[in-house]
């Protein structure tokens, strides 16, 4: 059972390395430039008859946390409970895989 | 979810095009079954949604009391619909996760979340969490979110 956990942990660390750019690097380059220039009309988001589509503001006018929403959080930085949940689900998937192989 | 006749109030959840309530298929039978006159509901609904662009899909929760009177709450349009409009796309991906049908920026997400935050159901949830939900919905529809 211990070895299975070790295998699960090993495979998980390989899977989590999905992106070429590490989170820290991405936020350093990204926070300086959003793909939408300020003043662009955000089409399709107006639902009122008397309203207009909202207009994109300057990057600075949006809250700081907005730019962090797309960052990948490495497994180690996640809260304890979430890490345990992910671990559990990996172990279950691993064991399901092993069982299906036996058939 | 449907209790007929006497007892506690029943809740009916529907998505109705704004300003165009009446069609028999979605609204008529669902209300009629519970003894509510669909004409009454449609008049009130169309009146309340007169500020919205016609045919905007509008989720509505109708609370029907045993004496057949009703009240209803109107919510913001479905997030997936808003996202598709923002991305300029009519249909979502047939295989979300494997396909991307459109792109949307974090600024779009922010605007959409501001609309969602007006819902009474979201009043206690902070904007950051709403944004995260919207990003997750985008993923389920096959719309990519970029900076």
pLDDT tens, B50-82?
899 988 999 999 999 888 889 999 999 999 999
With respect to residue A99, please indicate whether it lies within any of the assigned structural domains.
yes
| Same-domain pairing of A89 and A103 | yes
Cβ–Cβ below 8 Å for B52 and A49: yes
Residue B127, pLDDT > 80, answer yes
Q: Provide the domain limits for residue A27.
A: 22-71
Residues A67 and A26 in one domain: yes
Q: Is A66 found in the same domain as A76?
A: no
* Dihedral sign of CA atoms B30, B72, B114, B128 in order: negative
- Of the listed ranges B15-29, B43-57, B103-117, the one predicted with least confidence: B15-29
What is the value of ipTM here, to two decimals? 0.71
Pick among A29, A41, A69 to test the B interface (most B CBs inside 10 A)? A69
> How many domains, in total, are found in chain A?
2
Residue B1 confidence (pLDDT)? 46
Cα–Cα distance for residue pair A78/A74, rounded to 1 Å: 7
Q: Are strands B10-17 and B57-64 parallel, antiparallel or unpaired?
A: antiparallel
Based on the fold, state whether residues A26 and A57 are members of the same structural domain: yes
pLDDT surpassing 70 at residue A60: yes
């Amino acid at each position: 059972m211990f070895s299975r956990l070790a295998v699960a942990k090993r495979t998980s660390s390989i899977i989590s390395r999905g992106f070429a750019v590490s989170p820290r690097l991405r936020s350093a380059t990204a926070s300086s430039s959003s793909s939408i220039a300020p003043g662009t009309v955000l089409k399709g988001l107006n639902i009122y008859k008397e309203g207009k589509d909202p207009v994109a503001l300057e990057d600075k006018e949006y809250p700081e946390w907005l730019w962090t929403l797309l960052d990948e959080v490495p497994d180690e930085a996640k809260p304890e409970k979430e890490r345990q949940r992910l671990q559990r689900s990996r172990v279950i998937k691993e064991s399901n895989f092993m069982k299906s192989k036996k058939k | 979810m449907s209790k007929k006749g006497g007892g506690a109030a029943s809740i009916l959840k529907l998505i109705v095009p704004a300003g165009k309530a009446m069609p028999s298929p979605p609204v008529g039978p669902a209300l009629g079954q519970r003894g509510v006159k669909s004409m009454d509901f449609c008049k009130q609904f169309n009146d309340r949604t007169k500020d919205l662009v016609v045919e905007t899909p509008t989720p509505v929760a109708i609370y029907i009391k045993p004496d057949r009177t009703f009240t209803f709450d109107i919510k913001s349009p479905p997030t997936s619909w808003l996202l598709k409009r923002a991305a300029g796309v009519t249909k979502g991906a047939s295989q979300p996760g494997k396909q991307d049908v459109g792109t949307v920026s974090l600024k779009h997400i922010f605007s959409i979340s501001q609309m969602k935050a007006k819902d009474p159901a979201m009043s206690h949830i902070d904007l950051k969490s709403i944004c995260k939900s919207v990003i997750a919905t985008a993923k389920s529809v096959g719309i990519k979110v970029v900076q």
